[in-house]
Amino acid sequence: MTGEPVLEQARRADAGETSVALGAAVSVREFSVTFAGTQRGTHPVHVLDDVTLEVADREFVAILGPSGCGKSTLLRAMGSLLDERATTEGTAQARGATAWMPQRDCLLPWRRAMANAMVGAIAAGVPRERAAARAARLFEDFGLAGFETAWPHQLSGGMRQRLALLRTCLSERPVLLLDEPFGALDPVTRRRMNQWLASMELTDWIGEDSEEPRAVVLVTHDVDEAIALADRIVVLSGRPGRIVWEVTAQHREDKPHQRFDRDQLLAALDH
Amino acid sequence: MTRGRLRATAIGMVTMVALLVVWEFAVQASGLPEFVLPAPSQVAATAVDTAPLLGEHIATTATEAVLGLAVGVFVGWAMAVLIATLPTTGHIAQPMVLLSQTIPTVVLAPLMILWTGYGLASKVILVALTVFFPVLISAAAAIREVDADHADMVAGLGGTRRHQLWLVRLPASIPGALSGLRIAATYAVGAAVVSEYLAGESGLGVFIQRSRKAYAVDQIFVGIVLIAALAGLFVLVIVALRRAVTPWQTAPARL
C-alpha cells in the first residue's frame, strides 16, 4: 500500500485539471511490474512487461489472459492498489476515482444484504441518503429485491456476487475494475450471470445522476465471459504479461451474437 | 428443541440422577464417615442449613469473577484490535504476552496480594490475567481470518485505514472475543476461587478453606456445587449475549 500516495496524487491532479488533456478514462503506458521475492533466495517475479493500453469513456474492456499472467496486477495498478512488494516502471492510472471488485465477494458476514451494499457508499464517501435511494432501485435491477435484510450466508453464490457488484456500483466511482467477478461460481451460474450482466448497461449504473463518463475494465481467463461482456478484448500472454492481441467488437447485422471471433481469441491465448 | 436434542438432554439427566443414586447408596452401604465422603442427601441438607451464610460468599466471588472478566475481555480485545491495526505493537507485546502465559496466574497470586492487598483488587487482576489470553487469541484469530481480503475490498472502494478499522476489523473482532470469553468464563471463576484460597475475608474459596479446617467435607461439596453452578451460569449468560450480539452466526459457528 505504500507507493500509493504518488499514484493517488497523480490521479487526483489529473482528475482535477488535466482531464481534457488526458482523453482516456484509464491509461497505461509502457507499464512493467516486478515483485520482489517474498523470501530469501527466491527470485523477483516479472509479472507485466511493457503494457500500453487505454480505456475510453463509456468503454467496457476485457483483459483476457491465462492464470498468473499479471492481469489482476494490472487491474490493481489501475486502482493504485499495488502493495509495497511491487516495483513498477511506466504509468498506470485512471483519470477519475476507481472502484475495484475482488474475485471473492468479500461480503461482511455481520451485515445484512442492504448494509453490505452500503459499504461501497461508506468507503467511497457517498452521502448515505442518496446511496440508500439508489441501492433500493439497484436491488430491483440486480434481482435482489426482497433480500435486503438477508444475511450473506443465506444468499446463493450468484446472489452474493451480484450483491458484491451492487456494492461496487454504489461507490459511484467513474471507473469500475472487476477482477473475475464471477470466477468463483460454477460454470452454469457463471454463464447465467454473464448473460444477465451483458443485458444490462453496466456503464450506465455507476453513477446514474452524474455527468461524468464511466468505463469498466474486466479481467478474466474465460474467453466466453470476455466475449459476452466486452466492447474490446485485450489478450495478455503468459508471465510476464504482454499484450499479444487486441480486438474490438464487430457489430454485424447478420450475426448479432457473434461480436468476436472466438477461435481467433483462443489462438491468441495460446500464443 | 428438536426431538434429537430432547432425547440427548433426557439421557444426560438420567445419567446424572443415576450417578447421584449410586453415590448415595454406596455411602450408606459402606458406612464411610461423613468427614471423608458425605452422601448427596447430606450435602443438600447442609446447603439448606448454610444458605444464610452463602449469599455473601457467592456475591464476593461473583463480583470478582465478573469484574475480572470485564477487565480481561476489554484488555484482550483491545490488544487484538491494536495488534491487527499496528503490527509493530504485536511484536512489542508478544514476548510479554507469551511470558505471562508461561507463568500460571495462580503462581502470581502472592505477589498480587502483596501489592494490592487482601481485597477485591488482587483477585480482579488475577482473574483478568487468566481471561485476557483466550480472548486475545480468539479475537486476533477472528480478525486474521476475515482481514486481508475484506480490508482490501474496502481500500478498493476508496476506503481509508479508518474505514478498514470501522467496517472490517472492529466488527470482525467481536464474535472472536465472545468465543474467547466463553472459554474464559469457567477459568474466571476458578481463578477467583484459587486466589481466595490464599487470602481473603469472604468468597466461595474462603468458605471452602474454612470448611476444610473444620473438616466439614459436606460444606466443601456445597462450595464445589456452587462454583460449578456459577461458572455454568456465566457460560449461559455469555451464550445468550453472543446470540444477541451476533445474530448472523448460525448455531454451529458459535461453538
**Average pLDDT over all residues of chain A:** 79
Q: Which residues of B touch A99 (CB under 8 A)?
A: 156-158
Partner residue opposite A109 with nearest CB, options B149, B154, B248 = B248
pLDDT of residue A16: 42
The partner residue sitting opposite A171, judged by closest CB among B158, B248, B249, is B158
CB spacing of A168 vs B157 below 8 angstroms: yes
Residue A179 pLDDT more than 80?
yes
In whole angstroms, give the CA distance from residue B114 to residue B125.
13
Rounded Cα distance, A97 and A187, in Å: 32
Query: Mean pLDDT for each consecutive 10-residue tract of chain B (255 residues)?
Result: 80 93 91 86 91 92 94 92 85 82 82 87 91 88 81 90 88 87 88 88 92 91 94 91 83 53
Residues of B near A (Cβ–Cβ under 8 Å) read 146, 149-150, 152-159, 163, 167-168, 171-172, 174-175, 246, 248-250
**Which triple of cell numbers denotes residue A146?**
426482497
Measured between alpha carbons, how far is A50 from A33 in angstroms, rounded to an integer? Answer: 9
Calculate what percentage of chain A has a pLDDT beyond 90.
13
Q: Residue B156: list chain A partners with CB under 8 A.
A: 79, 81, 98-102, 177
Q: What's the pLDDT at A33? A: 83
Print burial letters for A85-104: b (CB count within 10 Å at least 16), e (below 16): ebebeeebbbbbbbbbbbbb
Q: Does residue B99 or residue A113 have the better pLDDT?
A: A113
Q: Which of B149, B158, B249 sits opposite A124 (nearest CB)?
A: B158
CATH domain A4-97+223-269 topology: Rossmann fold (3.40.50)
Q: How far is the alpha carbon of B81 from chain A, nearest alpha carbon, in Å? A: 17
Domain boundaries in chain A? 4-97+223-269
pLDDT of residue A142 exceeding 70, the answer is: yes
Q: Could you give the ipTM of this predicted complex? A: 0.80
Residue A99 pairs in a beta bridge with: A176
Residues 6 or more apart from A18 whose CB is under 8 A from it?
A: none
Report how far residue A255's alpha carbon sits from residue A48's, in angstroms, rounded to the nearest whole number.
36
The three-state secondary structure class of B131 is helix
Which among A104, A110, A112 is the nearest to B246, CB-wise? A110
Q: For residue A179, is it left (φ>0), alpha (ψ between -120 and 50) or beta?
A: beta
- The DSSP output letter for A152 is G
Residue A219: pLDDT band (50, 70, 90) is very high
Q: What is the pLDDT of residues A2-43, one digit of tens each?
A: 444 444 444 444 444 444 445 688 888 888 888 887 666 677
The predicted-structure confidence for A38-93, as pLDDT tens digits, reads as follows: 666 677 888 888 888 888 888 889 998 888 788 888 888 888 888 877 888 888 88
pLDDT at B75: 93
Asked if A119 lies within 8 A of B250 by C-beta distance, the reply is no
Name the phi and psi angles at A28, rounded to 5. Answer: -120, 125
| Range A129-152 burial, b when 16+ CB lie within 10 A, else e | eebeebbeebbeebebeebeebbb
Q: Which of A104, A109, A120 sits opposite B157 (nearest CB)?
A: A120
A106 and B153 within 8 Å at the Cβ level: the answer is yes
In words, the CATH class of domain B39-254 is mainly alpha
Are the CB atoms for B116 and B122 separated by under 8 Å? yes
Chain-chain contact of A119 with B172 (C-beta, under 8 angstroms): no
| Rounded Cα gap, residues B16 and A198, in angstroms | 64
CA nearest to A8 within chain B? B158
Q: Kindly state whether A173 is in contact with chain B, defined as any CB-CB distance less than 8 angstroms.
A: yes
Q: If you average pLDDT over residues A240-269, what whole number do you get?
A: 76
